[in-house]
Amino acid sequence: LRSGRVSAERINDAAKRVLQKQLEFAAVGEPERYLPEVVAGSEHRELARHAAVQSMVLLRNEPTQAPWQARPSSSGQEIARESAPEPLLPLNPGRLNSLAVIGWLASEQNIGDLGSSQVHPPSVVTLLQGLTSAGSEHGLDVRYHDGVDQSGAVALARDCDAVVLVAGSSYRDEGEWIIRAGGDRSTLRLIQHDEQLIEAVASANRATAVVLMGGSAFVTDTWHDHVPALLMAWYPGMEGGHAVADLLFGVSSPTGRLPCTWPASKNTLPPFRRFARSIEYGPLHGYRFMEASNQVPAFPFGYGLGFHPLSWSDPVLESVTEQTAGGFTVQLAVTVTNNATRPGGEVVQAYLAQSLGSCEDPLLTLVGFTKALVEAESSTKVSVSVQVDELPEIIYLGENSDPGSHLAVKIRSD
């Protein structure tokens, strides 16, 4: 203002517009609020539980070969000790007497950041509460240890038939940096204590399922091969404890897929300056960076397991429609088959090969997906609608892609 670069009239005009908008908001008054009996009612809670189940991603589910403890059957006869050749999940209450829940995050109301995204539910079901409730319904003795004392946690793991170990991040580790906590994570690894705890507990009890909480990817290379089951729960919301229990005990089937790439190790990541004043993002990051640099991630973008694999066949191009506003709508379809005796879900994903940045070979970019639930011992046709500006030279339906512009349908959990 003093230098004359900005006039007083310009300043007054800007201030006038700000004050005018404030007066408009003041005239409107308080926004309409939901009635207390409606907020977090049964329908809302059921929706929160369903959303949490749908978002969680099963990353690993291997056989344990664990010697399950003998347990009386309904007839009073003891079930003989046996090995379990099937994957650890879903947990089979008929083979368990006790379940250990380990990790301080299991008892925390861990629903995310305390910044602008913070929400205030009237109550939160922790993972410990959800697992305790589900365990009691099955007659299990559910025991808890916060994991701070590793020796105590290991002793509990040895004494129980199976273990659910909860680790990951909270608002103290990531999020808006407004309370001298959170901010950008300095590493994608778990804290050293948690990594050591996982290895020690998994050595003590081979039937250990790890549940991770957090808002982004983790590097798990030092320990994920030591545990048979790994579930990413994210920040699961007010019904998160029930949702995790639903998945671990098989009430619901896991159908979530990763929205980000999990690198195999920190050495595969580009340099990152946590406190840089400026940073440049090119087109090659995330799963496209991994593909362009020939890196094999631990868990790729779009990855996720179910309790049993689903097969797919008969890919077809259903239609190509030119839009009046420009571009084309391409309709693709595949048949997804579930040969198991329980329902299962799959996400059919369509990728468009594009040339990006300095990469000479086209890189796949997600352009469409459809999630489908397939009933037991049945098949269903799943369609994916894709919007493209120009028709690709080749519409390719399969797993292996050739160089050139093409549209590919993939199921990344294969």
The three-state DSSP-derived secondary structure of 323-391 is CCCCCEEEEEEEEEEECCCCCEEEEEEEEEEECCCCCCCCEEEEEEEEEEEECCCEEEEEEEEEEECCC
As a whole number of angstroms, the distance between CA 134 and CA 123 comes to: 18
Q: By C-alpha distance, which of 137, 376, 338, 111 is closest to 246?
A: 137
pLDDT of residue 80: 40
The whole-number pLDDT of residue 70 equals 41
By DSSP bridging, strand 311-322 and strand 328-338 are: antiparallel
pTM value surpassing 0.85: no
Q: Where are the alpha helices (DSSP H) in 142-186?
A: 150-159
Cβ count within 10 A of residue 10? 11
Task: Tell me if 61 sits within 8 A of 305, measured CB to CB.
Answer: yes
Question: Which CATH number applies to 48-256: 3.40.50.1700, 3.40.50.1980, 3.40.50.970, 3.90.1150.10?
Answer: 3.40.50.1700
What is the CA 143 to chain-centroid distance, rounded? Answer: 26
pLDDT of residue 199: 98
pLDDT score recorded for residue 225: 93
**What is the predicted pLDDT for the residue at 322?**
87
Average pLDDT, 10 consecutive residues per value, the chain (414 residues): 87 94 82 75 94 98 65 40 72 96 98 86 96 97 98 98 97 77 81 97 97 96 96 98 98 95 88 78 79 89 93 87 84 92 91 65 82 94 86 52 49 44
| Rounded Cα–Cα distance for residues 194 and 181 (Å) | 19
How do the residues of the chain divide into helix, strand and coil, expressed in percent and rounded to 5?
Answer: 25, 25, 50
| Tokens found for residue 204 | 């003590």
Domain boundaries, the chain: 48-256, 308-410
What's the burial of 257, exposed, middle or buried (CB within 10 Å: 0-12/13-18/19+)? buried
Query: 99, 73 in Cβ contact below 8 A?
Result: no
Same CATH topology for 48-256 and 308-410: the answer is: no
Position 275, amino acid:
F
Please tell me the class of the 308-410 domain. Answer: mainly beta
State whether residue 182 is helix, strand or coil. Answer: coil
E-assigned strand segments in 214-362 = 229-232, 311-322, 328-338, 344-354
